[in-house]
Structures are given as C-alpha cells and as structure tokens.
Chains A and B, each alone.
Chain A
C-alpha cells in the first residue's frame, strides 16, 4: 500500500511505534508457532518414520505414495474440469431460460434455482450416488461426483451469468433489437459474449470452489486425493503428515488459479470494457487476495 487512506503517512514517531508494534506482534506470532512446533515435536510428529514416505527418495513406499497421489489428484482435476464444463453449459442455459421465459413459468425456473442453491453439496453428491442407481441409472463413481457437483454449481453459475448480463448497459440489448435480432439472438450474439468477459474472474473463482469440492468425492469412495490419503494412512500411519502435504498441494493449485482470476480481472479492467471500474474513488486497500468470489465452497 503505497498511499494508505485509513491512516496518515507515518511520521518519525509513528514509524518508531509501528516498528515496535511490528516487532512485538512478530515475536508473539513466532512464539505461538514455536510452541506448536515444540508440542508436535514432543509427540514425535517430526520423526523420519512419519515423514520418510513423503520426503525420503529411498524410503520403500516413497514411489508408490507419490504415484498414487499423482493419479488421485489427476482424478480430482478430471472431475473438476467435467463438473465446470457441465455447470457452465447448464448454468448458462438456466440463466437464459430465466431471462427469456414468460412470467407465468419463470417462477418454476426460479424455484428450481433457489431450491438447489439451498442444499449442501454433499447431499447433492450423495443423492446422485445413492438415488440414481435405485432408478436404474448406473454410472462410474466419477459421474456421480460430477453430477452432484454440477447440480450444486450450475445454479450458482446461472446467477453469475444472470448478473453478468444484467450488468451490461441497456443500450446493448436495444441495439440488438434495433438491427432486428430476436431476443434470443441478441442474447446469444450481443449480450452473452460481453457478459462472459465480465464474468470470467467470478467463473475462475467458482472453479476453485469446484476443485476444492471434488475432495468430497471421498464420501462416495471416488478414488480422489482425500480418499487416497485416507487409505494410505492405514498403511503408513502418519495422518498429520499426509494431510499436511495434501493441504499444501491444494493451496498451491488453488492459489495459482486465483492469481489467474486476478490477472484476468486486471487485464479486463485495463482494456476498458463494460462494467464498473473496481475501486474507483474508494478506499483501495490493495488488490483482492486471490480471486473475487467471496462465497464459501
């Protein structure tokens, strides 16, 4: 923050106080961290036996562990990409139906959207897994996960698309109508392509949410990374270490995805397209950290 607005540019005395405050805060935080590490050390959580399979190239299970984890993470990615693609398609269709539908059946579309928005994603996944086979639809586990994630996320994406279209100036739809396009044509050819540019950061953030949620595949025994780690624990007996490694992997992948969202957002706002300029004339406390969506996954 080069030019803070919440507090004055510090003078020499304040700078000294900030210094002291920083040192005290830093020492306190480091103290807590040290205490935690010491406690973990006392419990033997840093032993070679527990970390060996993860970090020691020559440990007997090292290769099997990382190969298995790689395959399992790939399964997360496959499920996330499929769920995102499907959610995007169905979500856009839902949004368009909601925008173009006549008043008398719009309430039906809106109710479906609201209903699915209120359900936990685990229930959606479980529903797909336990109910679809009962009615004779038998699929690989991957698809139950993808269907559950899609049911949950497509309505969220429908809302993103709707607000994206709504954020466009009225003139866009009017111009479409003026050159003789039908409402559908104008949406498809004029409004949506512009709306997608506005929505891109929000969509990437939703991808982060979907990617995190693929880890819930463990409840239906889909061989993704959390499930893999849970099985590996039975053999290696080091739950904290394995979950720590997995957490780091998730955080790094999602952080990179979120940086992508920020990058896209900056590029879009620089290109001077439609939509409000973020932070114009307001308190700017720095770039949003890693993405724009604030709803939890």
Chain B
C-alpha cells in the first residue's frame, strides 16, 4: 500500500497543479457546452426554417464541421481568426473551435429530436394560428427536448473528451497540457502522471454520464 502511495508521488506532490488544471478543463467544458447547445439549436432552426439560404448555410455548416478533424478546426481558430483581425486569448480560440465543431453534432441531435415529434403536433400548432417561430419554440422544441436529451448528452460528453486537444493550439493549463509540462519539461515519470490526468477526465465524464442517465429517466415521459 505504501508502495502505491510512493508510486503516485508525482501526482500527489503536484496536486495543486492538477486541481488548477481540472478547474481549467471544467471551465472550458462549461463554456463549450453552453455555446455548443445554443449554436447547435440555432443551426438546427436554420435547417428547418422556410428560408432557403439559411437551410443551405445550416447544412453546409454541419457538413463542414462534422467531417473536419477537430485539430484542423482548432488550428483555423488559433491562426486563421487573427489573420482576419480577430484577436483574443488562445483560451477563447480553443473554446470557439470546440463550439464550432460540437455545434454540428448538437444540431443533428436537435434536428433528429424535431423529427421525432409527431406531425399532428405541428399541424395542431399551425391550426391554432401559430407562426413558424412560435410553433417551433412553444410546441415542437419543448417536446423534442425529451428525445433530444440522450443524444445531446452524448454529444456533450464527447465534447468534454475532445477538449483534451485544445492544448495543441496554445491553450495552456488544462489537464492534458499539464501532462506535457510535468513529463516533458520537468522529467516526471510518465505512467503515474498520465493516470492522474486520466482520472481527472473520468471525474468529469463518469458523473456526467450518471447525471445524463438520471435526466433521461426524468424526461422520458410516455407520449
């Protein structure tokens, strides 16, 4: 037992650093999740809207960001945005990249939820004279949210895991970047540090998964 404690000394000695890194990752995930859900819903609304240019932009958006590796999306945020005159801390570029990428998946989850609402609901909404925005906002989307919760939850958990690569574009201080600092530059042993970093991610994803399960059961009202 004592041996095990010794083995994880590189982690316990730097526990403050790990805690900071954990909080940075958590922060990235919170901003990222909020942004992705909002943008994803907006793009989904574009895709089902009556305006053809918006529909096209919506589908182009999804095709581009869903099929392009996140590394490349992040690269364009960190090195492309400054070229068109947008300067911000790399932290925000990392979040923007994460949001752009994840919004494509969130959009498809929301849209498949809209698809699952029975046609009679929308017809009823129109019959009482609601406009497109009203029927979408007050009738269809609230019902869609039930079926949307499980896939949307998976999208967000995938985003949390994807956040590990923002370190490649200059975002410092998150969990995976901390691994680089401790192992490459300070020469600590690889395995315990990597296990510590992995535990940090599991500390977010596993409770996230459990929360999602609870939420899923609560919204799964029989129709």
Residues of B within 8 A of A10 (CB): 50
Q: Is A177 at the interface (CB under 8 A from chain B)?
A: no
In the complex, A244 Cα to B56 Cα: how many Å? 21
Tell me the residues in window 8-25 of chain A with beta carbons closer than 8 Å to chain B beta carbons: 8, 10, 18, 21-22, 25
Chain A residues within an 8 Å CB radius of B75: 239, 243
A134: Cβ under 8 A from any B Cβ: yes
Q: Assuming the A-B contacts A25-B54, A29-B53, A130-B190, are A289 and B62 also in contact, with contact meaning beta carbons closer than 8 angstroms in the complex? A: yes
- Check B63–A240 contact: CB distance below 8 A: no
CB distance from A32 to the nearest CB of B (A): 10
Known: A40-B83, A118-B202. Contact between A8 and B126, CB under 8 A?
yes
CB-CB under 8 A from B84, the residues of chain A are 35-36, 39-40, 43
Decide: A289 and B206 in contact? CB cutoff 8 A: no
> Among residues 167 to 191 in chain A, which have CB atoms less than 8 Å away from a CB atom of chain B?
none
Q: Known: A216-B71, A255-B63. Is A296-B118 also a contact (CB below 8 A)?
A: no
Q: Which residues of A contact B85 (CB under 8 A)?
A: 39
Q: B136 — which chain A residues lie within 8 A by C-beta? A: 6
11 extra A-B contacts, CB within 8 A, seeds A25-B53, A118-B206, A295-B158: A43-B83, A114-B209, A120-B201, A122-B176, A130-B190, A239-B79, A243-B76, A282-B115, A282-B117, A283-B116, A296-B162
Asked whether B122 is an interface residue with its Cβ less than 8 Å from the other chain, the reply is yes
Query: Per DSSP, are chain B's interface residues mostly helix, strand or loop, or mixed?
Result: helix
| CB-defined contacts of B121 to chain A, threshold 8 Å | 283
Taken residue by residue from 133 to 160, chain B's Cβ proximity to chain A (1 for < 8 Å, 0 otherwise) reads as: 0011000100000000001001101110
What per-residue 1/0 map shows which CB atoms of B40-82 lie under 8 Å from chain A?
A: 0000000110111110010100111011111110011001100
Report if A119 contacts B (CB, 8 A). yes
What's the Cα separation between A130 and B157 when bound, in Å? 25
The CA-CA distance from A133 to B163 in the complex, in Å, is 26
Chain B residues with CB under 8 A of A123: 164, 176, 194, 197-198, 201
- A39 with B83: CB separation less than 8 A: yes
Task: Scan B155-190; emit 1 where CB is below 8 A from any A CB, else 0.
Answer: 101110111110010000000100100000000001
CB distance from B35 to the nearest CB of A (A): 14
Choose the segment among B88-96, B103-111, B214-222 that binds chain A (4+ C-beta atoms closer than 8 Å).
B103-111
Interface: B101 (CB within 8 A): yes
Residues of A contacting B80 with CB < 8 Å?
A: 240
B residues 191-205 touching A (CB-CB < 8 Å): 191, 194, 197-198, 201-202, 205
One of A83-91, A92-100, A245-253, A265-273 contacting the partner: A245-253
Q: Which of B68, B118, B179 contacts A247 (CB 8 A)?
A: B68
Report the bound CA distance from A131 to B194 in whole Å: 9
The CA of A212 and the CA of B115, in the complex, are separated in Å by: 27
Whether B112 is near chain A, meaning CB under 8 Å from some CB there, is yes
CB-nearest residue of chain B to A118: B205
Residues of B within 8 A of A161 (CB): none
A140 contacts the other chain (CB 8 A): no
Give every chain A residue within 8 A of B109 (Cβ-Cβ): 294
A residues at B contact (CB < 8 Å)? 4-8, 10, 18, 21-22, 25-26, 29, 35-36, 39-40, 43, 45, 114-115, 117-123, 126-127, 130-131, 134, 208, 212-213, 215-216, 218-219, 226, 239-240, 243, 246-247, 250-251, 253-255, 258, 279, 281-286, 288-291, 294-297
B114 within 8 A of A: yes
Query: Are A118's CB and B165's CB within 8 A?
Result: no
Is there an interface contact between B126 and A7, defined as CB atoms closer than 8 Å? yes
Question: Is there an interface contact between B123 and A5, defined as CB atoms closer than 8 Å?
Answer: yes
Contacts of B5 in A (CB 8 A): none
- A258 and B79 within 8 A (CB): no
Contacts of A26 in B (CB 8 A): 53
Identify the closest chain A residue to B204 (Cβ). Answer: A118
A158 to B213 alpha-carbon distance, docked (Å) = 18
A131 touches B190 (CB 8 A): yes
CA gap between A279 and B114 in the complex, in Å: 10
Contacts of B7 in A (CB 8 A): none
**A95 CB → nearest B CB, Å:** 18
Are A216 and B67 interface neighbours, CB within 8 A? no
Q: Please give the distance in Å from A23's CB to the nearest CB on chain B.
A: 8
Q: A6 CA to B190 CA in the complex, in Å?
A: 55
Are B202's CB and A115's CB within 8 A? Answer: yes
Q: B164, A120: Cβ atoms under 8 Å?
A: yes
Check B31 for interface membership: any CB of A closer than 8 A: no
